[in-house]
Structure 1
Amino acid sequence: MKSFLHKLFLSLSALFIISGCAALRNSSNPLTSIIKASVDLKNISDDKVLITITPTPINSDKINFYIPQIVPGTYEYSNFGRFVENVQAFDNKGKVLPIKSIDQNTWEISNAKKLIKVTYLANDTFDGPYGKEIYPMGGTNFDKDNTFLLNLHSMIGYFEGLKEISYELKITSPKSLSPYTSLPIISKSDTLDIFNAKRYFHIIDNPILYTEPNSITFDLDNIKVRLVIHSPSNNHKAEDYQSAMQKMMIAQKKFLGNANKTPTYNILLHLMGMKDLRYFGGMMGALEHHTSTTVVFVDQMQPGELTQSLIDVVSHEFFHTLTPLNIHSEEIHNFEYNTPLMSKHLWMYEGTTEYFADLFQINQGLIDPANFYNRLTQKIDRSQRFDDTMSFTEMSSKIVDEPYQSNYANVYQKGALINMCLDILIRELSDGEKGILSVMKSLANRYGEDKPFKDDDLINEIVSLTYSEVDDFFKTHVEGNTPIDYLKYLSKVGLTLGETLSPVPGGILFQSPQLPFFEMMENELGVNQYVVSGLNSTLEKIGVKTGDVFLGLDGKMLPEIKKENLEEISSVLNDTFMWDADKEFSISIKRNEEALTLSGKVGTPSALLKGVIEDSNASNEAISLRNFWMLK
C-alpha cells in the first residue's frame, strides 16, 4: 500500500515509525445492462448504512454475492464482509429469497432467477472490534452529518460473473455535505448524487469523501488536481496547502513528462482525532487509486508537519499514475477480490514509486543532496529489519501469506533500493543517457491502462530495453536471494558510507533511527523505569544526560511502566509526532533522586549517524555519473 504507510506505535522497549469464479451469463445485453446500487447516508442508525444492490436479470438458479476479501493496494486479507450484516435477497413481490452465508465474504442466493435486489447494513471501520485491523485510509468513517469517508470496497458488493457490468451508484446525503471523488457524476442535487462506473473495479477504485466544502483545484498542464480536506477542528484549510502541493506536483509532472496522462487527480485528506489515532494504534498514511488517493492523518498535526507529510505521501501516491495505472500485470487488471492471484512485481508497483518519490525531489531542486542521501540511509537502515535473503518476486507473489506478509513493509525500503541500484547500473552502462525512468516511460508507451503485461514476461522486456547486466541483477538480487551490496552501487556515483550529522527520524524521542532515547530498566526496588540511554542534539542542548530517569513531557507524566498502561504511555509520547521545530516543550526527569524540569525548542533533532555521504576521493567519472543520476 501506500500504498505508503506511517505507523506510530509505542512498545514497552521501542518506538517505531512505520502502504476465479465461473462466469454466469447475463440474460440481457451487457452493453446496455447496469447494476444499480444505492447508499443512504441520511438515515443512519448505530453507525450503520443501508445498502441496496439491484442486479441485472439472472438466468441461473443460484448465484453468489460477494464483499471483497482483499482489494488492490493493500496486499493483505481485509475480509470486508465482517462489516456487513443482515444480508437479504428479495423477489419482485418483496418476498425474501433463500440466502446462505458460505464464508464471511460470500452469500449464496437461491431462486436467483427471481432476484430483484439485495439489501444489507454496512458498518464503518473506525470503531468496533474489527475496524482497527483495517488501515484507516482504506476504510470507512460514518460521522453522521459531519463527514463520510467512503472506500466503497467495504460497502458495495458484486455478483458472481458480473464484475464487468456497469454500475449506477445513488447516494443520498445531508444537504450540508458535498461529494469529492474521481467517479463520474451524472446527476447532482442537494441531497442526491448519482454516479456511474464502467465496471466493478471502477466502483472500488474511486473513493468518495463527503464533507463540508473545503477544497482547492489547480492545473498541471493537462491534469486537473483537487485537494479536499475534512478537518474536525476547521483549523486546516485547503488553500493553506495549495502553494506547497502545487509546487511539489508541478515538479512531479515535469519529472514524469508525458508518461502521465490521467486527466484528473483527487487528493482526499481525512483528518481524524486523537481518539481515532489511538484506536488504530498510531496508523496513518495513504491508499493509492488510479486517479485519486485517500489520505488519513490526525487533525492535531501542526501545519508544517502536515505539509511535509502530505508532500512525502502524495508524491508517492501520484507516481502510481505511472504504475500500476499504465504499467500493470494481468493479475492486477483482472483482480480477483475473493480468490486473489498476486503479481510478482511489488519491486515496481511500490518500490519504483517510492524511489521516484525521493529521486524527483533532488532532480527538481526541492531538496538538497544531504537530504537525499539521508533518505537513502534511512531505507538501508530500515531494510535491515527484514529478511534480506528472501526472493523479492517470490515474496510479492505470496505476499498475503506468512512469512511474506511480515516482510511487506520492505517494499518501501529494499524495493526502493532495488530501483536505486538498477537506476545507477543503467546510467553507468548507457554513459548516463538512460535510467529506470526512461525504462518505465517505454513500458508505459508499450502498455497502458487497458493493456496489461504477462507477469512472467516483464523482466525479460526490461532486459530487452537495457543490458544483459540488468538481467544478472534481477536473477541475483530480485528473483534470487542474494543480498545487495549497496556500497558497490553507491561507489559508482562517488558515494560511500560514513559518519555524518543527520536529522533523526521521529523527532525528539529518538537518538537514532528506530532507537528511542530511553530504555526500560528496573530500579533497586524492581520497578520499571525509562532511563535515558542516548541523546540527540535537542535533548543534549536543553541539558538531558544519559542515566536520567525519564518521567514525562509537557507536564504529562508517565504512569507506571507496565503492559497494562501501554495506551496511557502512548498518549504521553504520541503528541511529539505533531510538534514542529518552533514548539516550546518541557521534559521531566529525575537525576540523583532530584526531580528536574528542562525546557527548550524542538528544533531539528540530529545525531552523528552512519550513512550515505559523498566520497572525497571520488573520480571525476563517478561525480559526472552522480550528476546524471540525480539531476538529469
Structure 2
Amino acid sequence: MKNILIVFLLFFNLSLLQAQHKTETIVEIDLNGIQEHALNVKVSAPKDQKTLEFVIPDIVPGTYMTLKYVDYFKKVRALDINGQEAEVKRKKNVFYISAQAPIDFLAYTVVDATSKRGIVGKPSVVEGTVFTPQSALINFNMLNGYFEGFEKTPFKVVVKKPSGFYGATSMKKLEESDQKDVLYAENYFGLIDQPVLYAVPDTASFVVGGQKCIVAVHNEKKTETAPKIKEVIEDVMHQVNNFSGVTSQEDYYFLIYEIDEARLKGMFKYMGTGSALEHRQSSVYYNTVLTERQYSYMYDHVSCHEYFHTITPLELHSEKIKQFNYRTPDMSRHTWFYEGFTDYFAMRTLNQSYTDEIALANSMSYGIATSQKRHKQSMIESSQDIIRKKNVFSFISKLKDLMAFYEKGAMIAFCLDLKIMERSNGEKRLIDVVLEIQKDYKGRYFRDEDFVNVLRDYTYAGFGDFYKQYIEGTATPNMQNYCDKLGWKYYPEGEKIPRYGNFYVKKDHENDKYTVTYTKGKNTLGLKKGDQILAINGVKAKEFYKDPKNEYYKMSFPKLGDSMVIQVQRKGEKIMLDGEAVLTKLKYARMKVLENPTEDQMKYKSYFFKHLKNVVEM
C-alpha cells in the first residue's frame, strides 16, 4: 500500500509539472527588429485551446486612469497548429480568438508610448514603453496581455537583443548571453511588476543595510550618467535606512529613462516627464535629459517616495490590490493612505534632523495651504472614485483629487505621527506603527472596509473619531494646533507679517555669489533682479549665509521695525541699500519655526527629530 501511494504521488507530481509546463505563456521579441518605435511580438497559446480571450489590461497598479493600452497593439493575428488563420475579434480591451484546430500562437506589433501625442487617455512612459534601435524600456502591460484563465501560470519572455545590450530588471533570468535573454515570472502580476530596461549598460550600484541597489540609466544624448545619479540615490537610501531601518535581501533596481527633448512634440510634450512608478523590487523614472545640477532636485524626493511604496501598497494592502482587476477597475478606499503616508515618510526621511526643520516646516506649509484650497470631500469616497474618465474635465478633476491624497494624506500622517509620539513619550512613531502592521499582515491582506479598525488597534482607542471626521468626512484637521506642539507658527496667504518685501536670493556658496533672481512688487530694501549681494549689516555675504538662521530670522522673518543695510553690486557699481521691516500681506502661506521654543515644544522636537532605528526585514 505504501509503495502504491509513493508511485501515485510521483505520478501526480510529474503530471502537475507537465501541466504547468504546458500552460506557461511564452513571449518572444527581437529588439534587433525595432523600426519606427514599433516591435513585433509572438505569444504562444495554451495547449489544446480552440477559443481564447487575450486580455490587455485597462489599468495597472499604481495608476489612476483607465488607458487604452490595447490601442497600441496593431496587426493582431493568430494561427492554429495547422498553420491556418484563426478568427480574431476585438471588443474593448479583449481579443477573442477562435479556430477550427487548437490555437498555436498570437502575433502582433506594439507601438511605444511616445508614438502618440495628447494628454487624455495617453499612457506615460513610466507605465508604458519606449522602443528605439539604441534602447527598449518595457512595461509588460504594453507588450503583452494574458489569456483569460491562465494569468496565474508562469510567463517566459525570450528576448533577442543587439550585441552588448544589457537588460536591467529584477526579473529572474533563466538564460543570459550576449545576444539572448530568457526572463521568467511566476504569473502575470509578477510579469508586469518587473519592468526591464534594455540598452548598452550605463549602471552603478551600492549596498545599504545589506540590500544591493542598482541604478540603470538610458540617456538618449550621453552615456555614463548612472554614477552621478547613483550618488544622489545612494544618499537618499542611507537616509531611508536611518529613518526607518527598512532593508531587504532582494536587489532593488532604479530604472531611469531620459529622453532627448528634441523628440517631444506638441502642446503637451512634457506631460509625464518627471514621473515615476513603483514596483516591488524596482521603480521606473522618466525625464528629459538632465544636467548634473538637476539630479538631486529631480531624483531625491521621488526615489524616496517610490521606494517607500515597497511598504505600502506593495506589501501592506487590501484585497483590492491583492486581487487587482485588470479588466474592470475596482479601486481601494485607501489611496489616501497609500499615497499620503508614503509621501509623508519621504518628506520626513529627507528632513530628519534639527538642521532640516525649516525645510520640513516649509513643506508642511505648502501642503496645508494647497489642501485647504481644494474642494472639500471625503478621502474615502474620492479614493474609490479616483479613476479618471477620458475627457479633459474629468482628467483635471481627478488629478486634483490625487494631489489631495498627497497633501491632506500627508497632513493626516503628520497629525497621527505627533499623536503616537505623544502617547508613547517619543518611543514610537507612525513609521514604526505602519511597519508593525506590515509585519503582522505579511503574506496576507486586510479587508478594505476594515482598515479603520486595523489602524485603531495599532494606534489609539480614539482613532475612530479622527477617522470619521477627517478621512471618512470632509473636515481638515486644525493644523495650527499640531504645529504649536513643535513651536511652528502657520501664516496663511493674505495675512500681514513684518517683511522687507518679496524677493529671492540664489546662493552659490562654491563661487561666493549671492544673486537676487526674483522680486515681486516693492521691497523696502530697494533690491532689484540681478543685484549681487556683497554684504549684509556689515557682514560679508558668504559669512552671513553660512548660518541658515541668519537668512531665516533676520531676512525672511524679521521683527516689526528691524532694519537692514545691504551692499550690492548693480551693473558694475557698488551701492548701499537700506530698509525697514513693515507689515506686508503674504502672497503665499508661510510656516515660521519659532526662535525660542518652550520647554514643552522642545520635548516634542526631541520626539520628532530623534531616530529609533531597528532593522526591518522586508
Report the TM-score range of the alignment, normalised by the length of the smaller protein: 0.7 to 0.9
Aligned in 2, Cα 1:74/1:538: closer, same or farther, shift over 3 Å? farther
The match for 1:246 among 223, 234, 239 is 234
Distance 1:195 1:233 in 2: 28
Residue matched to 1:328: 317
Any idea what SS the aligned residue of 2:462 has? Answer: helix
The match for 1:445 among 439, 442, 466 is 439
Residue matched to 2:420: 426
Distance 1:155 1:161 in 2: 19
Is 1:118 the equivalent of 2:106?
A: yes
Residue 198 of structure 1 aligns with an amino acid whose one-letter code is E
Residue matched to 2:606: 627
Distance 1:538 1:111 in 2: 81
Aligned in 2, Cα 1:533/1:621: closer, same or farther, shift over 3 Å? closer
Residue 476 of structure 2 aligns with an amino acid whose one-letter code is P
Alignment of 1:558-577 (within 5 A): none
> How far 1:631 moved relative to its partner?
2.6
Distance 1:459 1:412 in 2: 19
The match for 2:81 among 73, 77, 92 is 92
Deviations 1:250-300, CA, capped at 9 Å, x for gaps: 22123222x44351110011111223455533432211111101111121x
Alignment of 1:288-307 (within 5 A): 288-299=278-289, 301-307=290-296
Aligned in 2, Cα 1:189/1:31: closer, same or farther, shift over 3 Å? closer
Any idea what SS the aligned residue of 1:93 has? Answer: coil
Residue matched to 1:39: 29
Residue 35 of structure 2 aligns with an amino acid whose one-letter code is S
- 1:251–1:364 CA contact under 8 A, matched in 2: no
Distance 1:128 1:332 in 2: 29
> How far 1:343 moved relative to its partner?
0.9
Distance 1:218 1:504 in 2: 41
> How far 1:618 moved relative to its partner?
4.5
- 1:346–1:415 CA contact under 8 A, matched in 2: no
Aligned in 2, Cα 1:502/1:47: closer, same or farther, shift over 3 Å? farther
Residue matched to 1:265: 252
Residue 294 of structure 2 aligns with an amino acid whose one-letter code is E
Is 1:187 the equivalent of 2:206?
A: no
Residue 87 of structure 1 aligns with an amino acid whose one-letter code is V
Distance 1:340 1:263 in 2: 30
> How far 1:172 moved relative to its partner?
1.2
Aligned in 2, Cα 1:537/1:229: closer, same or farther, shift over 3 Å? farther
Aligned in 2, Cα 1:468/1:504: closer, same or farther, shift over 3 Å? farther
Deviations 1:141-181, CA, capped at 9 Å, x for gaps: 1111x111111111111111211011001111211321111
Any idea what SS the aligned residue of 1:126 has? Answer: helix
Distance 2:301 2:231 in 1: 15
Unaligned runs of 5+ in 2: 1-15, 389-393, 492-496, 508-516, 533-569, 574-585, 612-618
The match for 1:614 among 593, 599, 604 is 593
Distance 1:374 1:76 in 2: 31
Aligned in 2, Cα 1:68/1:130: closer, same or farther, shift over 3 Å? farther
- 1:266–1:292 CA contact under 8 A, matched in 2: yes
Alignment of 1:254-403 (within 5 A): 254-257=242-245, 259-261=246-248, 263-276=250-263, 279=266, 280-284=269-273, 285-299=275-289, 301-363=290-352, 368-387=356-375, 389-401=376-388, 402=394
Residue matched to 1:150: 138
Residue matched to 2:540: none
Residue 168 of structure 1 aligns with an amino acid whose one-letter code is K
> How far 1:236 moved relative to its partner?
5.3
Distance 2:422 2:32 in 1: 60
Q: Which has the higher contact order (CA 8 A, sep 6+)?
A: 1
Aligned in 2, Cα 1:376/1:52: closer, same or farther, shift over 3 Å? same
Distance 2:138 2:54 in 1: 20
Distance 2:320 2:427 in 1: 33
The match for 2:123 among 134, 141, 144 is 134
Residue 200 of structure 2 aligns with an amino acid whose one-letter code is E
Any idea what SS the aligned residue of 1:542 has? Answer: coil
> How far 1:492 moved relative to its partner?
2.5
Distance 1:265 1:507 in 2: 36
Aligned in 2, Cα 1:113/1:30: closer, same or farther, shift over 3 Å? farther
Distance 2:335 2:504 in 1: 25
> How far 1:441 moved relative to its partner?
1.1
Any idea what SS the aligned residue of 2:374 has? Answer: coil
Residue matched to 2:485: 492
Residue 407 of structure 2 aligns with an amino acid whose one-letter code is Q
Highest Rg: 1 or 2? 2
> How far 1:432 moved relative to its partner?
2.1
Aligned in 2, Cα 1:339/1:628: closer, same or farther, shift over 3 Å? same
> How far 1:446 moved relative to its partner?
0.8
Deviations 1:278-326, CA, capped at 9 Å, x for gaps: 5533432211111101111121x22121123111110111111111222
Residue matched to 2:59: 70
Distance 2:183 2:525 in 1: 54
> How far 1:29 moved relative to its partner?
3.0
Distance 1:171 1:539 in 2: 61
> How far 1:234 moved relative to its partner?
1.6
> How far 1:629 moved relative to its partner?
1.8
Aligned in 2, Cα 1:350/1:539: closer, same or farther, shift over 3 Å? farther
- 1:151–1:207 CA contact under 8 A, matched in 2: yes
- 1:426–1:470 CA contact under 8 A, matched in 2: no
Distance 2:97 2:503 in 1: 56
Aligned in 2, Cα 1:166/1:408: closer, same or farther, shift over 3 Å? same
Deviations 1:183-225, CA, capped at 9 Å, x for gaps: 1111012221100001001111111111111111111122110
> How far 1:609 moved relative to its partner?
4.8
- 2:52–2:97 CA contact under 8 A, matched in 1: yes
Deviations 1:610-631, CA, capped at 9 Å, x for gaps: 3222245743123211221233
Aligned in 2, Cα 1:39/1:374: closer, same or farther, shift over 3 Å? same
- 1:27–1:58 CA contact under 8 A, matched in 2: no
Residue 54 of structure 1 aligns with an amino acid whose one-letter code is S
Any idea what SS the aligned residue of 2:32 has? Answer: strand
Distance 2:234 2:601 in 1: 34
Residue matched to 2:152: 164
> How far 1:35 moved relative to its partner?
0.9
Residue 323 of structure 1 aligns with an amino acid whose one-letter code is T
> How far 1:43 moved relative to its partner?
1.1
> How far 1:410 moved relative to its partner?
2.1
- 1:67–1:155 CA contact under 8 A, matched in 2: no
Deviations 1:552-594, CA, capped at 9 Å, x for gaps: xxxxxxxxxxxxxxxxxxxxxxxxxxxxxxxxxxxxxxxxxxx
Residue matched to 1:51: 41
Distance 1:108 1:506 in 2: 62
Distance 2:102 2:190 in 1: 27
Unaligned runs of 5+ in 1: 1-25, 509-515, 519-531, 545-596, 601-606
Any idea what SS the aligned residue of 1:51 has? Answer: strand
Scaled by the length of structure 2, the TM-score of the pair is 0.78
Residue matched to 2:510: none
Moved over 6 A (4+): 500-508, 532-539, 597-600
Aligned in 2, Cα 1:183/1:619: closer, same or farther, shift over 3 Å? same
